[in-house]
A and B are shown apart, each in its own frame.
Chain A
Amino acid sequence: MLAVFKRELKAYFASPTGYIFMGFFLLICGIFFAFSNLLTASPDYISVLSSITFVFLIVVPVLTMRLMSEESRQKTDQLLLTSPLSVTGIVLGKYFAAVAVFLLTLLITCLYPIILSFFGTIAVWEIVGGYIGFFLLGAAFISIGLFISSLTDNQVIAAVVTFSALLFIWILDWVIQGLPTDRISGIVFACALVVGVAALVYFTTRNIFVSVAIAVVGFGIIAGVYFANEYFFDGFIVRTLEWFSLLKRYENFMMGILSLSPIVYYITFSAVFLFLTVRVIEKRRWS
C-alpha cells in the first residue's frame, strides 16, 4: 500500500495534475479570502470555507479521474493485480495519495487565517472545526471520484461523470425539498430501488435467476417492513436521498459545532465508496 501511495503521490507532481489542482484551489480560495476578509476587513474566515465548496466540483475530478482509469488503459493494472498486493491495499494507496495532495493544499490555505490573526482576533477553534469538516467533505468527494474512475478506462469520461455526480450531490438539498413525502410515493420509490438493483445485477452478471431472486427478496422486505411499521415509508424518499446529502452535515461544522456523528458519517461514506471500488475491480476479473 505504501509503495502505491508513494508512486501515486510522485505521479501527481511529475505531471501537471497536482499543480493544476493546487493552483486552482489556492487561487479560488485566495480570491474569496481577498473579497470577504481583506477588502472588507472582516475576521470571519469560516465564511470563506463555506462558500468555496463549489471548487470541489471542478478540482476533485481533476484529482481522481486518472487514478484507476489510467491503470487499465495502460495495462499497468496487470502489474499491480499480479503482484502480492491486495486490491484493498492498491485502492487505499491511491485514495490516500489523492487525499494527501488535498490535505497539503489545505495546509497551505491555513496561511490565510494566520494572516488574519495578525490584524485581530480570530475564532481559532471554530476555524479548526471548519477545516476538519472541509477536509472530511473533500475526502468523501475524492472517494466518489476514485470509484467512478474504476468504472472506465477513459479519463475524460471519468472526469465528466464525477463532475455530474458531485453536481447532483451539491444540488441535492434543493432537490429534496421539492420531493413528495407521502407513504405511497415512498413505497413506489422503494420498489423502484429494488427493480433498479435487480436490473443492475442482471446487466453485470447476466444471471436472470439471481436478479429475480433479489427482486423477490427486495419486495418481500418492503412488504415485511410495511406490515411491521406502516409509517416507515412516510418521507422515505427524502430520508434515502438525505443519506447522500454530504453538504447538509457540513453546515454543522460551519456553525462551529464539532460533533461526532457527522465525522462518523463522512468516514463511513468514504469507506463505502472505497469498498465499492474494490468490488468493481475484483468483479471485472471474474467477468
Chain B
Amino acid sequence: MIQVIDVTKRYGQHVAVDHVNFTVEKGEILGFLGPNGAGKTTTMNIITGYISATEGTVKVEGFDILEEPEEVKKRIGYMPEFPPLYMDMTVQEYLDFVSDIKKIDRATKKRSMEKIMDLVKIGDVRKRLIKNLSKGYKQRVGLAQALIGTPPVLILDEPTVGLDPKQIIEIRSLIKELGKEHTIILSSHILPEVSAVCGRVIIINKGKIVASDTPENLSKRLSSAGRLSLRVAGPEKQVLKLVRELEGVKNAEVQGVKEPGTVDILVEAEMDIDIRRPLFYALSRAEYPILYMKSVDLTLEEIFLQVTTEEREVS
C-alpha cells in the first residue's frame, strides 16, 4: 500500500531523515514513535508530497510521488502537526472548500460532509468561525479535513496533542474505528497511545529507524527492566536498607516524603526477576506496610536509550 524507499532529507548539512525504509500494508495502523526532532513530521511531509525528499521516493498503491504526485495525493488524507485551517471561514465553509479542492462530486459532497461532521462530532459548531473554536475543536476540524473524500490512506501527525483526556480517548477510538476502512500512519510521543491503537510501531530517532515491531513485542522487550515505585509506612533508613538487601534488587532510591511517617522509594530490579512478591513479604514481615506499589513506565527517552543500546549490542 505505502512503500517508503530509502528516503533521505537533508537541510543543508543537517540530516533530518536518514535512509528510511518501510512499507505499510493495506488496513494496517502504523505508529510512528520518536522524540522531538526525530524526523517524524519530515517523513510524513515527504509521504504526502508537501516537501520533496533529497533522495529516495515514496509509492502509494504503486504510484510514485515524484512521477504521479496527483494520483498519490488523491489517495491520502493528511492531518499535519498544525491543522491547516483558514481562520476566517466557518467550519462548514472550510469543509466545503476542502471538498472542492479534493474534487469531490457535487452530488455526494453534502452527504459525505454530514457523515464526517457526525463522525468527529463537530456538527454543532458548523456555523462558527474557525478562529473562535477551542483547540480541541480545531484539532477535530483538522481531522475532518483529512477524512474528506474517504481517501484509502490517512496520515495523522500527533492527532491527540493538546486534547483533554476525554477527547484523547474519543479520538483514539475513532482512529481505531477508521482503521477498519483506511490504512493509517500516525505519529506520537507517547508509547501507551501507540500501543493502544497501532498494530505495528516504528521507532525513529535522529532520522533513523531504530526498531520496528508490534507493540506487544516491544513492551515485552522493554518491560524486562522492571521498575517499581512504592510508598512504605516506616522509617526511611531501615526501609531502604531492607529493600536494598533483598535478592534481585539492583538499586533503590528515596524519592521523597509525601505523607508524614512514610517514604516513597523507586526500586529497580535485576533483569527478568519479578521482585513484587519478595518485596511485599519482606516489608510486611518487618511491619512496614506497603501503601501502594506500581510499576513505572519507561519514559520515551529511556526507551530510546534502551532500544539504541540493544541494537548496538546485537550488531
User: Which residues in A have some Cβ–Cβ distance to B below 8 Å?
Assistant: 2-4, 6-7, 10-11, 14-15, 74-86, 206, 285-287
12 A-B contact pairs sorted by A residue (CB < 8 Å): A3-B100, A7-B86, A14-B88, A15-B88, A75-B84, A76-B84, A79-B98, A82-B48, A82-B49, A83-B98, A84-B102, A285-B50
Q: How far is the CB of A109 from chain B (nearest CB, A)?
A: 27
Minimal Cβ-Cβ distance residue in B for A89: B101
Q: A75-B80, A82-B50, A84-B74 are known contacts. Are A3 and B87 too (CB-CB below 8 A)?
A: no
Q: A82-B48, A286-B52 are known contacts. Are A74 and B12 too (CB-CB below 8 A)?
A: no
Minimal Cβ-Cβ distance residue in A for B84: A79
Q: How far is the CB of A21 from chain B (nearest CB, A)?
A: 16
Q: A14-B88, A285-B50 are known contacts. Are A82 and B97 too (CB-CB below 8 A)?
A: no
Q: How far is the CB of A1 from chain B (nearest CB, A)?
A: 9
B38-77 residues at the A interface, CB under 8 angstroms: 45, 48-52, 70, 73-74, 76
Chain A residues closer than 8 Å to B78, beta-carbon distance:
78, 82
B85 at the A/B interface (Cβ < 8 Å)? yes
B130-150 residues at the A interface, CB under 8 angstroms: 145
B127 at the A/B interface (Cβ < 8 Å)? no
B280 at the A/B interface (Cβ < 8 Å)? no
Alpha-carbon distance between A11 and B86 when the two chains are bound, in angstroms:
10
B82 at the A/B interface (Cβ < 8 Å)? yes
Query: Which 3 A/B pairs are nearest by Cβ-Cβ distance?
Result: A3-B100, A79-B84, A76-B84
Chain B residues closer than 8 Å to A80, beta-carbon distance:
101
Most A CB contacts (10 A, CB to CB) among B11, B50, B84, B101 go to: B101
B121 at the A/B interface (Cβ < 8 Å)? no
User: Which residues in B have some Cβ–Cβ distance to A below 8 Å?
Assistant: 11-12, 45, 48-52, 70, 73-74, 76, 78, 80, 82, 84-89, 93, 97-98, 100-103, 145
> Which one of B73, B82, B88 contacts A82 once the chains associate, using CB atoms below 8 Å?
B73
Minimal Cβ-Cβ distance residue in B for A93: B101
Chain A residues closer than 8 Å to B89, beta-carbon distance:
7, 14
Q: How far is the CB of A263 from chain B (nearest CB, A)?
A: 32
> Which one of B51, B73, B76, B97 contacts A7 once the chains associate, using CB atoms below 8 Å?
B97
> Which one of B50, B82, B102, B145 contacts A81 once the chains associate, using CB atoms below 8 Å?
B50
Alpha-carbon distance between A82 and B73 when the two chains are bound, in angstroms:
6
Main DSSP-derived SS at the A contact region? helix
Minimal Cβ-Cβ distance residue in A for B73: A84
Chain A residues closer than 8 Å to B52, beta-carbon distance:
285-286
> Which one of A76, A85, A86 contacts B85 once the chains associate, using CB atoms below 8 Å?
A76
Minimal Cβ-Cβ distance residue in B for A7: B97
- Contact across chains for A3 and B97 when beta carbons are under 8 A apart: yes
Alpha-carbon distance between A250 and B82 when the two chains are bound, in angstroms:
46
Q: A14-B88, A76-B86 are known contacts. Are A81 and B49 too (CB-CB below 8 A)?
A: yes
Alpha-carbon distance between A82 and B78 when the two chains are bound, in angstroms:
8
- Contact across chains for A83 and B80 when beta carbons are under 8 A apart: no
Q: How far is the CB of B204 from chain A (nearest CB, A)?
A: 20
Chain B residues closer than 8 Å to A79, beta-carbon distance:
84, 98, 101, 145
Chain B residues closer than 8 Å to A14, beta-carbon distance:
88-89
- Contact across chains for A84 and B50 when beta carbons are under 8 A apart: no
Chain B residues closer than 8 Å to A4, beta-carbon distance:
101
Minimal Cβ-Cβ distance residue in A for B12: A206
Chain A residues closer than 8 Å to B85, beta-carbon distance:
74, 76
Q: A3-B101, A11-B88 are known contacts. Are A78 and B80 too (CB-CB below 8 A)?
A: yes
Chain A residues closer than 8 Å to B86, beta-carbon distance:
7, 11, 74, 76
Alpha-carbon distance between A206 and B14 when the two chains are bound, in angstroms:
14
Chain B residues closer than 8 Å to A11, beta-carbon distance:
86, 88
Minimal Cβ-Cβ distance residue in A for B90: A14
Minimal Cβ-Cβ distance residue in B for A2: B100
- Contact across chains for A74 and B88 when beta carbons are under 8 A apart: no
Q: A78-B50, A79-B98 are known contacts. Are A84 and B88 too (CB-CB below 8 A)?
A: no
Minimal Cβ-Cβ distance residue in A for B82: A75
> Which one of A15, A84, A206 contacts B103 once the chains associate, using CB atoms below 8 Å?
A84
Alpha-carbon distance between A84 and B101 when the two chains are bound, in angstroms:
7
Q: How far is the CB of A173 from chain B (nearest CB, A)?
A: 40
Q: A76-B86, A79-B145 are known contacts. Are A85 and B101 too (CB-CB below 8 A)?
A: yes
Chain A residues closer than 8 Å to B45, beta-carbon distance:
78
Q: How far is the CB of A217 from chain B (nearest CB, A)?
A: 26
Minimal Cβ-Cβ distance residue in A for B142: A79
Most B CB contacts (10 A, CB to CB) among A7, A79, A86 go to: A79
Alpha-carbon distance between A15 and B88 when the two chains are bound, in angstroms:
8
Minimal Cβ-Cβ distance residue in A for B54: A286
Chain B residues closer than 8 Å to A83, beta-carbon distance:
73, 98, 101-102
Chain A residues closer than 8 Å to B98, beta-carbon distance:
79, 83
Alpha-carbon distance between A287 and B48 when the two chains are bound, in angstroms:
16
